Amino acid sequence: MTSRNDVAAIIDHTLLKPEATPADVEALVAEAKELGVLAICVSPSMLPITDPGEIVVATVVGFPSGQVKPEIKAAEAKRAVADGAAEVDMVINIGQAIAGDFDGLEADIRGVVEASGDSLVKVIIESAALSDEQIVEACRRAEAAGAGFVKTSTGFHPAGGASAHAVGLMRETVGDRLGVKASGGIRTAEAAEEMIAAGASRLGLSGSAKILNSL
């Protein structure tokens, strides 16, 4: 069993529901500090965070559909970084991956990486909507474009969230060169441990407290 502190150290404590209020975000930051997690992940409209303390601030770009013009995604990333985001979780154009336009997909990611400067970019590939071959190629292109992480899911796609199979495939593709973030539908300590065992080096969780209290 993974220790509570080991798990807390790789959690992005997440609040991305559209109805979230500034008060909800304040509560999220307070809870993140109390739980001792690594990071929070909030919508870009909630930035800047007034007093994150030691907590890493992450936000999302092109979220949740990914069907945004590349220059808009890049501009969104640039603004997010100016507003204090140390990490940017961008959604690929999933239709590009399905259509096989991986050159376009790589260019889209590169634009966000360049606009993000020193901030870490995590690339959400929406793995449940892709075939194994598409997952592998999307991960390869994310690495080629200079991203620091690949990430399974937004948590908003009807096809589902993270799976141990997808995490394992992603880890196998990027080796130890990139991080792998499992996100979407991870609601139990068992599920969290399964993702870590499959190769996840970061977890996106909205129910962090419940999971950590089970460890």
Which residue among the candidates 12, 89, 108, 122 is catalytic per the annotation? Answer: 89
- Catalytic residue check, 181: yes
Which residue among the candidates 73, 78, 122, 151 is catalytic per the annotation? Answer: 151
Q: Which residue, 97, 93, 187, is CA-closest to 134?
A: 97
Which residue among the candidates 73, 78, 122, 181 is catalytic per the annotation? Answer: 181
- Catalytic residue check, 101: no
- Catalytic residue check, 89: yes
| Residues taking part in catalysis | 89, 151, 181
